[in-house]
């Protein structure tokens, strides 16, 4: 059972979280030219690396923050978890 270090709540069991998938994708800007290709990438394409990965986790049974968690898909080692809001500001 994974232990996710929520920056607001401290280390918590992963059962408190919902998985949000690949966090490497970026949502296209509203006015992006030739946007359909970018949208298809965003909506459907997911990285699935073996090893280090960035993922969204939603602390649904906690502070309700969406986090970006750095997790190794091979070892499950989690190296960081920070608020998703920080990523865009």
Is 27 a residue that touches another protein (CB under 8 A)? yes
* Site track 48-77 with another protein (rule: CB under 8 A), x = hit: --------x-x-x---xxx--------xx-
Q: Is 71 exposed, middle or buried (0-12, 13-18, 19+ CB in 10 A)?
A: buried
For the chain, what is the radius of gyration of the CA atoms? 14
Work out whether 36 is an interface residue with another protein (CB under 8 A). yes
The residue among 58, 57, 25 whose CA lies nearest residue 44 is: 25
**Pick from 35, 73, 79, 80: which binds another protein (CB under 8 A)?**
35
d(CA 59, CA 68): 11
The site for another protein (CB under 8 A) is made up of 1-3, 18, 20, 27-28, 30, 35-36, 39-40, 42-44, 56, 58, 60, 64-66, 75-76, 78, 83-85, 87-89
């Amino acid at each position: 059972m994974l232990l996710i270090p929520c920056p607001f709540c401290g280390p918590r069991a992963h059962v408190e979280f919902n998985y949000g998938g690949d966090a490497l994708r970026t949502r296209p800007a509203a006015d992006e030219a030739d946007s359909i290709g970018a949208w298809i990438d965003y909506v459907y394409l997911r990285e699935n690396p073996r090893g280090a990965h960035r993922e969204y986790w939603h602390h649904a049974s906690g502070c309700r923050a969406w986090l970006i968690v750095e997790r190794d898909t091979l070892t499950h080692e989690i190296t960081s978890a920070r608020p998703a809001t920080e990523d865009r500001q």
